[in-house]
Structures are given as C-alpha cells and as structure tokens.
Amino acid sequence: MSVVGSPVCTPDWLALREPADAAARSAELAALTARRAPAVVRDLGCGSGSMVRWLAPRLSPGGTASPARWVLHDRDPVLLDRALADLPPGVDAQASRGDLTALRAADLAGTSLVTASALLDLLTAEEVDALAAACAGAGCAALLALSVSGEVAISPADPLDAVLAAAFDAHQRRTVDGRRLLGPDAGRVAAEAFARHGMAVETRPSPWRLGAGETALAEEWLRGWVAAAVEQRPDLDREAGGYLRRRLVAAAAGVLRVTVGHVDLLAVPR
C-alpha cells in the first residue's frame, strides 16, 4: 500500500479510493466549470486518470464525452499509461511526463482549465503560489479537488482518535527533502493564493463518507492513517497497535463509520 499523504501513490491505492473520490468531489463546482466550456484541460498529477473519468462527462452538455482536449501530467510513466488506457469514450488526451511544480504561465498558454485531485496537500506554499500565478497569468480556470482538511470523525468514538488525528496532521505538514508540505492547510493556502493573484475563488466541502459499503477502503485508510501518526510520534506505537486492531474488527463487522474531510476549490479569472 501507499501511506496516505505520501508523495507516491500505488495504482492499487488509487483504484481503491476512486469510487469514494467520485462520490465526494463537488458536482456543483464541476457544473460551474462546465459553463465555461473549457477547450483544453490540463490534469496535474493525474495518477491513473480518475479525474478525467469523473470530470470529462460533466463538461459535456450531453453528459457523455467531453469536447475538451486533455493533457495528463504525471511523473510516473506507469500511471500515465494506465490513465491513457482507461479514458472515457470520446475523450481526446495526451500524456505529459515531468515535474508539474515547474509549470509557469507560458507552459499553460492556450489552456482553458487546470485540474488536480488529491494533490495540493502534497505541495508547499511556494509551489501552490506558483501554480496560482501560472493560472492567473495564463488566464485559465483551476478546479482543484480533494485537498485534505484535517477533519476526521470516526464512529464509534475511541479515546485515541484525537491524539492520532493530531499526529497524522503533523505528519502531513512534515518537511520532505527540504520541502514543507501543506497537508491540511492546503485548501486555505490555495484559496488565499488564487485570490491574491486576482482570481475569484469558491470552495466546497468534499468529505469521504465511508460505511459498511466501503470496508476495504476504510481498512486501508486506517492502516495508512495510523502508520503515518506513529511515524510522526513513535511513542504512540504500543497503543496504536491495539487501536488499529479494534478499528479493523469494527470495520469487518460493518459498524465502523469514517468521515475524512476534504475541500474542493474553483478559481476563475475575474
């Protein structure tokens, strides 16, 4: 598995989370985006293509295939191949491999819309500001979905919930190779950055709501959530083992409910 919040995600993890992502993303912001009839869409950190599969039909009046031309950006050639192999019918797309944080306004020339999903929390404040500046400079809109917000609710409650949540949030804000990740601050920082660069910003909550029908995802999320918390605070290791066992038993019994907060953002040129 890939630890939740890691800069690298495995294809299996992306496939497991795709239905929950699709249910969580803001259909309202997608509808507002469709009104702009984007002609060229760049999907940053596209992974295995879940965003194009979700958004492309919503950009078409008939709801079947997007008239837009898509450019899928990712650094992982395996994921790019998977994304291109599983496009919605009628979608025209090409791959672009490289470092998406290096994109500037000139690189976005002719782009109508920049999209991303579950990406902003893995960036730094400087990288998000550069992305906002690039979009504003190119005059293109941005629809950025599923940035973690730090809000986690688990039922039935457990005394360790809050302690692990705080440790996980700290892990999401950790410094990796000299880069301080935004983690749960990403939505706020991005909204401020796009507004600062003169764009109109709207946000909507987009939480995962995991119940008995999403047991496999809840279990995998729990393992990653606890592992990241313990990596941040090794002193939690002994208690965390018992906590995880209790939670996995509840998930297998179908009684566990998990809400994981995210936020979606739409920024458009004024």
Domains annotated on the chain, with CATH: 11-269 (3.40.50.150)
Average pLDDT over residues 60-81: 84
Average pLDDT over residues 113-139: 98
Q: Looking at 61-65, 69-73, 116-120, 126-130, which range is the least confident one?
A: 61-65
pLDDT at 68: 87
d(Cα 190, Cα 124) in Å, to the nearest integer?
A: 10
Pairing outcome for strands 92-97 and 113-117: unpaired
For the chain, helix (H) and strand (E) counts, in that order, are 9, 10
pTM above 0.75, yes or no: yes
Instruction: Evaluate if residue 226 carries a pLDDT over 90.
Output: yes
Instruction: Evaluate if residue 64 carries a pLDDT over 90.
Output: no
* Cα end-to-end span (Å), the chain: 42
Q: DSSP H helical segments within 160-236, as ranges?
A: 161-172, 186-196, 215-232
Instruction: Specify whether the CB–CB gap between 121 and 182 falls below 8 A.
Output: yes
pLDDT at 2: 32
Q: Looking at 13-27, 30-44, 59-73, 124-138, which range is the least confident one?
A: 59-73
CA-based nearest residue to 25, from 208, 150, 216: 208
pLDDT, mean over the chain: 94
Average pLDDT over residues 3-25: 79
pLDDT at 7: 36
Instruction: Evaluate if residue 266 carries a pLDDT over 60.
Output: yes
The residue among 8 and 224 whose pLDDT is bigger is 224
Average pLDDT over residues 16-45: 97
Instruction: Evaluate if residue 61 carries a pLDDT over 90.
Output: no
